[in-house]
Amino acid sequence: MTPLPAAADHLRRAIELDFTSMCTQLTEARQRQRQKDSTGNRASVAECRARIDAILDLHLETEGRRGADVPAARPDCAFAAAGPSAPDA
């Protein structure tokens, strides 16, 4: 059986990897939306944001209570305060 600290560390790394991967996918989805603002591209951006939100919720559920830091925000993944994505002018 895996000791609890090792399991928690593995889960933390998995969450960080998922977060990084979804930030990359969000960047790509936003680029596609800038190229063509379509319903499908908007849905893709919204899906990425929802998945990032779920990952951050999971992080808070598993580590937030212990005072762990939230995964470092990447500049290309700063979406929370922006609200719905609009194409860049």
CA distance 71 to 89: 30
Give 49-74 pLDDT, tens digit per residue: 999 999 999 999 887 665 555 555 55
**Has this prediction a pTM greater than 0.85?**
no
How far is C-alpha 48 from the geometric centre of its chain's CA atoms?
7
Per-domain boundaries in the chain: 4-64
Exposed, middle or buried by CB within 10 Å (0-12, 13-18, 19+), for 12? middle
pLDDT class of 3 with cuts at 50, 70, 90: low
